[in-house]
Chains A and B, each alone.
Chain A
Amino acid sequence: MNGVSSSPSWPAERFYWSVVEAPGWGRCGPLPEGVRAVFEEDAPLPGDELHAVGAPLGDGRLLVCAARRAELGALESGPDSLVPAAIPPELGARVSPERLNLLVGAFEPARFRRARQRRHLLAAAALLACAALVSVGAVRRERHWSRLAEDRVRRTADVLAGVVPGGRPELVPAELARARQVNRWCAGQAPAPDAAPILAALLKAWPVGVACKPQALTISGFAIGCSVAVEGDPALFLGALTPPAGWRLEEPRLHTAGSVTRLTISMRPAPGAPR
Chain B
Amino acid sequence: MRSSVPLAWAAALLGGGAALLVTVPPARSARERAAAACAELVRAESDVREIMALRAGLPEWTRRRPSDAALAPSVSAALGAAGLSASVLSSLTVNDPAAGESDAPAARRRATLALTSLTLPELGRFLRAWREREPDWVIASLDIGPEPDRTRPRRSAAPGVAEDLPLRAMIGLEALFMNNAGGLR
* Residues on A facing B (Cβ under 8 Å): 113-114, 117, 120-121, 124-125, 127-128, 130-132, 134-136, 138-139, 141-143, 145-146, 148-150, 152-153, 155-156, 159-160, 162-163, 169, 172-173, 175-176, 178-183, 185-186, 189-196, 199-200, 203, 208-221
Contact = CB atoms under 8 A, between A and B. Distances in A.
* Closest 9 pairs (CB-CB, A-B): A131-B16, A152-B37, A192-B140, A124-B12, A145-B30, A138-B23, A142-B27, A135-B19, A138-B27
Contacts of B19: 131-132, 134-135
B20 A216 contact: no
Interface of B: 1-2, 4-5, 8-9, 11-13, 15-17, 19-20, 22-24, 26-27, 30-31, 33-34, 36-38, 40-41, 43-45, 47-48, 50-52, 54-55, 57-59, 61-62, 104-106, 108, 120, 124, 127-128, 131, 138-146, 159-162, 172, 174-176, 182, 184-185
A172 B44 contact: yes
Contacts of B124: 199-200
B159 to A, nearest CB: 6
A191 B61 contact: yes
Given A163-B47, A179-B50, A212-B160, 5 more contacts: A146-B33, A156-B44, A176-B51, A185-B106, A194-B139
Contacts of B162: 213-214
Contact of B174 (A113, A146, A192, A209): A192
A163 to B, nearest CB: 5
A218 B106 contact: no
A206 B143 CA distance: 17
B24 A134 contact: yes
Contacts, number: 211
A185 B44 contact: no
Nearest to B165: A214
A138 B19 CA distance: 10
A128 B145 contact: no
A159 B41 contact: yes
Contacts of B159: 211
A163 B43 CA distance: 14
Contacts of B139: 194-196
